[in-house]
Homo-oligomer: A and B are copies of this chain.
Amino acid sequence: MQKLSRLFMPKLVTPKGSVTKNVEALSRSQRLMNELGLVKAAGNGFFHFMPVAQRSLNKLCNLVDECMLETGGYKVTMSILTPTELWRQSGRLHGDIDEFFIVKDRHGKEYLLSPTHEETITSILAATAPISYKQLPLRLYQLGPKFRDELKARFGLVRAKEFLMKDLYSFDRSDKEAEESYNIITSSYSELLKKLQLPFEKVEACTGIMGGKCSQEYQIISPVGEDRLLRCNQCQYAFNIDIAEEDGKGCLKCHSSSLTELKGIEVAHTFLLGDRYTKPFNATYLDSDGKPKSLVMGCYGLGVSRVLAASLEVLSSEKGLVWPALLAPYDVCIIGPKEGSKEQELGDIIEEEICTKIAEICGPDNVIHDDRKYLTIGKRLLEAKRMGYPLIVVVGGKSTGDIPILELLVKNHHHELHVDTVLTEICKYKDHKTALRKRCH
């Protein structure tokens, strides 16, 4: 079990009366994460993940890996530095390249700090002995840092210049089979966001510089969202306002003029690319007739650090963080009597017992014990509520009666319960999490 006294949470200390700069660019999640010492700013648009946020990020990464395994994805890691010549070959290094970080090595050779890896993966396939149609579909993904020199980095992890992304690339034999891959993978994205219990819309979007045939975005609905979306009240079709018809003809599908406008945080963008990259790079497969043909490609980006930030943004209140159950850094926080208090002697025994039992139920790694007994229960409870631990168990004044009563906070709702009932509730919560994780399987 982890001890809160040992946990490094470098809280932001704002001198009284000081004025915070750029306050308009601080979203709710960013402000709370800063204040609670979950992330530290590392310059404009760059962030460090401190231990508690890192735990949550690890959980999200594991969840993403599970989803990818189910879609038949194989994990790889591609070099972060990509020779710019590859991007010249695809034509993506023309026009406005200010968004790219470009670095030269000691010999003057230029590399991109990769914002995405379509060119790389396609060139790997092109440099390989052509794969057989029997090996298709091929779905390769990675989980790693990406870079974009945003003109306006905003809202902390929501729009950062260095961010964690999961990018998957699919290769198929035909458009039809590419669409099957597309459906399987995008379904897994919907599934993931449902597991996280986030309000989202899958919207038709612009293909932009990526190119290809069509694209869709996954948008978390939030007032701080920078994307404007339209959802048809008639047929539920949703699309990014970027692709709305200029003369405002309404729904792109059923032409209804009854549309609801929403704001969204884009957390994923998926594309059917056809041969946009495989043709220029000559990435082929050997078809059943023995002839080489261009692979049909799809790509699927998921902003992992952005999903975490967006989750906290839409679920939290001004008063404190609220985590998706599957991403909470710990399931339970346990707070015992203050040292020197009249209930300490008996309370400490109960505290120790309950720590052991809860660790057995949840696994020791999922329990955080606020052992800072030099602080009052009230002060520790206030902090625990701001941190948004899903369950908080307080061994307080009523714990030393003939029938010990503990306080249990479930999503910050107080209950006074017998020890056994507290444990039952914790078991229920664990079952709830398991069900959530396995939903629809």
Cβ contact within 8 Å between A51 and B79:
no
B138 touches A11 (CB 8 A): no
* Contact yes or no, B40 A54, CB < 8 A: no
- Bound together, the chains give a CA A50 to CA B48 distance in angstroms of 28
Query: Contact: A75 with B58, CB < 8 Å?
Result: yes
* A13 adjacent to chain B (CB < 8 Å): yes
Partner of A120, one of B37, B48, B50, B140: B48
Whether A76 is near chain B, meaning CB under 8 Å from some CB there, is yes
Least CB distance from A182 to B in Å reads 19
Known: A72-B6, A149-B106. Is A54-B77 also a contact (CB below 8 A)? yes
Shortest CB-to-CB span from A142 to chain B, Å, is 8
Q: Does A36 make an interface contact (CB < 8 A)? A: no
Tell whether A363 is near chain B: CB-to-CB under 8 Å: no
Pair A129/B77 contact, Cβ less than 8 Å: no
Say which residue of B7, B42, B82, B105 sits within 8 Å of A74 (CB atoms): B7
Q: Is A98 an interface residue (CB 8 A)?
A: yes
Q: Which of B8, B101, B120, B144 interacts with A138 by CB under 8 Å?
A: B8
Digitize A133-151: 1 where CB-to-B-CB distance is under 8 Å, 0 elsewhere. 0110010100011010101
For the complex, is A201 an interface residue (Cβ under 8 Å from B)? no
Among A77, A83, A101, max chain B CB count under 10 A is at A77
Q: Is the CB of B113 within 8 A of A106?
A: no
| Chain B contacts for A37, CB-based, 8 A | 128
Residue of B nearest to A305 (CB): B77
For residue A127, CB closer than 8 A to chain B, the reply is: yes
**Contact, CB under 8 Å: B42 / A54:** no
* Contact residues of A: prevailing secondary structure: mixed
- Establish whether residues A75 and B54, one from each chain, have CB atoms under 8 Å apart when the complex forms: yes
A162 interface residue, CB < 8 Å from B? Answer: yes
B51–A140 CB distance below 8 A: yes
A124 CB-CB contact with B under 8 Å: yes
Q: A98 to chain B: which residues have CB within 8 Å?
A: 106
B151 pairs with A106, CB closer than 8 A: yes
Interface size on A, residues (CB 8 A): 58
A410 CA to B272 CA, complexed, in Å: 45
Assembled-state Cα–Cα distance A7/B77 (Å):
15
Q: A3 CB to closest chain B CB, in angstroms?
A: 10
B13 touches A129 (CB 8 A): yes
Point out the residues of chain B lying under 8 angstroms from A57, CB to CB.
77
Given contact pairs A105-B149, A106-B98, A42 touches B129 in the complex (Cβ within 8 A): no
Q: How many angstroms between the C-alpha atoms of A128 and B12 in the bound complex?
A: 7
Other-chain contact of A145, B80, B82, B127 (Cβ < 8 Å): B80
Once the chains bind, are B48 and A124 in contact (CB under 8 Å)? yes
Across the interface, name the chain B residue whose C-beta is closest to A124: B40
Contact A5 B135 (CB under 8 A): yes
Chain B residues within 8 Å of A82, by CB: 42
Of residues 151 through 182 on chain A, the ones whose CB sits less than 8 Å from some CB of chain B are 151, 161-162
- CB atoms of A79 and B125 under 8 A apart: no
Is A47 an interface position by the 8 A CB rule?
yes
Cβ contact within 8 Å between A76 and B102: no
Contact of A43 among B58, B83, B125, B135 (CB under 8 A): B83
The list of the 3 closest CB pairs from A to B, nearest first, reads A10-B128, A51-B74, A103-B103
Q: List 27 A-B contacts (CB under 8 A).
A: A5-B135, A6-B72, A6-B135, A7-B74, A8-B74, A8-B76, A8-B135, A8-B138, A10-B128, A10-B129, A42-B82, A42-B83, A43-B83, A46-B79, A47-B79, A48-B124, A49-B77, A51-B75, A54-B76, A55-B75, A81-B147, A81-B162, A101-B105, A103-B113, A106-B149, A144-B145, A145-B145
Supplied contacts A8-B140, A81-B101, 4 more A-B pairs, CB within 8 Å: A5-B134, A46-B79, A48-B120, A50-B76
